[in-house]
Amino acid sequence: MSNRIALITGPTSGIGYVTAVEMAKKGFDLILVARNEAKVRELQKVIGEGVRTDFIQCDLSSIASVKKAVDLIKARYGKIDVLINNAGLLVQNKQFSTDGIELTFATNHLGPFILTTGLIDLLKAAPNARIVHVSSAAHFFAFFDITQLVNPSWYQDLVVYGRSKLANILFSNQLSDQLSPFGITSNVVHPGTVASNFAGNGDGLSAFFMKLFRPFFKTVEQGAATSIYLASSPVVEGMSGRYFVDCKPGRVSSESKNRELGRLLWKLSEELVRKYEMDLV
C-alpha cells in the first residue's frame, strides 16, 4: 500500500475509463466505484497488475448504495490521495431515484456529496489530498432555485443537467473553503463536449445535438486530460476552489461563485440524507 490511491467514480466508459487507465500508468492504486462489475473486470484486465485495483459496487443515485460503499471503503483503506467525482448522467425524461429524488440531481450531486463527505477522514489522512469534480459549461444555462432540485416543476433535460453541474461547482467551492486548513484541495473540471456515448441515446433534443455535432467534439482522451492534470500534476499543488478548462483556469458563471448558494445546497443535501435516515426508523 505504498502507492498513492485514487478513487474514481464512473470509470467504465468515456473520460472516466481513460482517467482510470492513465492514473494507473502514473502509479496510482485505484478504487473503481461503479455499478457494472463486468465492465470493471474488463477495465482491470486492461490496466493489468502493475498497480492494485479494487472494485466498489455503487449506484450513485441511491443513498443506501452510496452509504454502503462509503462504509466498505473506510473498512478497507486508511487514506485516499485523490478523489475524482467523474460519474454523471443526463436524463431526457423526468425520472426519480429510489429515494424519490429527481434522478439527475441524485446522481450528479447528492451521491457524490454523500461519498465525498463520508470519506473526508481518509482524505485528511493523506498528505495534500485532492478532490476533482467533473462539471460542465452547461452550468452557465442554470439558475439556482433550491425548490427545483428534488422535484422540478418543469423538466427540460439540458436545464436540469446544467443545474446539477452548477451544484458540482457550488459543492466544490464549499469543500475548498472547509478543507483548505487540512491541505486538501477541491477543484472543478469542464472536460469539453466529448465524443462519447454520453447523452447520445434516445430521441430528445440533447441526443439530437450530440449526434449532429459529434464529428466536431473532443476525443475522450482530450476530455480526460484536465481531470488527470488536476489529479496528478505538481503544477497545481495547493491550488483550490478553481474551475479548469483545457488544463487552465476558466471562466465560470456569477452564480457558481455565490457562497451563500453553496451553503443552501449543502444544507439541503444534509436534510435529504437525514430524511432518508428518519424514514428507515
Active-site annotation, residues: 161
Contact 268, 212 (CB under 8 A): no
Distance in angstroms (rounded) separating the CA atoms of residues 32 and 69? 11
The helix (run of H) or strand (run of E) holding residue 75 is: helix 63-76
Distance in angstroms (rounded) separating the CA atoms of residues 276 and 281? 9
Contact 3, 51 (CB under 8 A): yes
Distance in angstroms (rounded) separating the CA atoms of residues 278 and 223? 40
End-to-end Cα spacing for the chain: 39
Q: Which residue carries 482524505 as its cell?
A: 123
Q: Which residue carries 426508523 as its cell?
A: 281
Annotate 89-153 with DSSP letters as a single string. Answer: ---SS--B-TTSSBHHHIIIIIHHHHHHHHTHHHHHTSTT-EEEEE--GGGGG----GGGSSS-S
Q: Measuring CA to CA, how many Å separate 7 from each of 1, 98, 132, 195?
A: 14, 25, 10, 24
User: For residue 236, what is its C-alpha cell?
Assistant: 497545481
